[in-house]
Chains A and B, each alone.
Chain A
Amino acid sequence: MKTLFVLASAALAMTAVTAQAKTFVYCSEASPEGFDPAPYTAGGTFDASAHPIFNRLTEFKKGTTEVEPGLAESWEVSEDGTEYTFKLRQGVKWHSNETFTPTRDFNADDVIFSYDRQGNAENPWHQYIPGITYEYYTSMAMPDLIKSVEKIDDYTVKFTLNQPEAPFLANIAMPFASIVSKEYADALDAAGTREDLNNLPIGTGPFKFVAYQKDAVIRYTKNTEYWGTPAIIDDLIFAITPDAAVRLQKLKAGECHLMPYPAPADIEAIRTDPNLTLEEQAGLNVGYLAYNTTQAPFDNPVVRKALNMAIDKNAIVDAVFQGAALPAKNPIPPTMWSYNDAVEDDAYDPEAAKAMLEEAGVTDLSMKIWAMPVQRPYMPNARRTAELMQEDLAQVGVEVEIISYEWGEYLAKSMEAGRDGAVMLGWTGDNGDPDNFLSVLLSCDSAGEGGANRAFWCNEEFSALLKDAKVTADPAERTALYEQAQVIFKEQAPWFTIAHSTQYVPMSNKVSGFKMSPLGDFTFETVDIAE
Chain B
Amino acid sequence: MFRLEARTSTPAWFNLALPLIAIGVTLVLCSGLIAVAGAGVIEAYGVMLSASLGDSYAITETLVRAAPMIFTGLAVAIAFRAKFWNIGAEGQLLAGAVASCFVGAIPMPGYLAMLLMALAGAAAGALVALLPATLRVKFKVDDVVSSLLLNSVIYYALMALIEGPWKDTFSGYPISPPIEDSANFPVLIEGTRLHLGVVVALIAAPLCWFLIARTTLGFRIRVTGENPEAARYGGINVQRVLLSTALLSGALAGLAGVGEVGGVHFQVMSDISPGYGYSGIVVAMLARLNPLGVVPAAIFLAAVMTGAEAMSRATGVPAFLSDVIQGTALLAMLVALLFTAYRIRRVGAQT
Same complex: no
Binding site for A on B (CB under 8 A): none
